[in-house]
Structure 1
Amino acid sequence: MLENNLSQLEELVGNLVQENKVLLESNAQLRGELAQLKEENDSLQLSALEQEELHSATAARIQALVALAAGSVATSASPAQA
């Protein structure tokens, strides 16, 4: 009976060691994927900030052009009325 219990214990320990190996490999793979995704996230955030800056600059240029056009229309309308 003791020999049978010892054999079962050896088998269970072997199974646990194998499962631990699988989990360690999976953990290493997930850590690698996480690092890659963090890098991609950082890159996307930087790109979003750059796009936001471009959008702000474009909006400012459009507003300046609209103001210029509005001023030009007001200036050309004034002499016609005089």
Structure 2
Amino acid sequence: MLESSLNQIEQLVNDLLQKNAQLTEQNAALGQELAQAKEENETLQLSLMEQEEKNGSTAARLQALVERAHAGVVGA
């Protein structure tokens, strides 16, 4: 009986160690994916800021043109 219990405990410990190794490996892989996702997110945020800056500049130029055109129509 004791031998059987010890064998079961030994098997359970081995199973737990194997599962722990698998989870450790999976955790490391997920950590790498997270780091890549954070880097991509940062890159996309910078790109968005640059695009918003360009759009703001374009909008200001268009507004100035509209105002000039309107002033030309009113002055004519």
Counterpart check, 1:51 vs 2:54: no
Unmatched runs of 5 consecutive residues or more in structure 1: 78-82
Unmatched runs of 5 consecutive residues or more in structure 2: none
* TM-score of the aligned structures, taking structure 2 as reference length: 0.95
Counterpart AA for 1:6? L
Q: Which structure has the greater CA radius of gyration?
A: 1
* TM-score of the aligned structures, taking structure 1 as reference length: 0.89
- Partners of 2:74 and 2:3 in 1: how far apart? 104
CA RMSD of aligned residues (A): 0.7
- Partners of 1:74 and 1:18 in 2: how far apart? 82
Between the two proteins, what is the percent identity of the paired residues? Answer: 57
What is the number of equivalent residue pairs in this alignment? 76
- Runs of 4+ aligned structure 1 residues displaced above 4 Å come to none
Q: Corresponding residue for 2:60?
A: 60
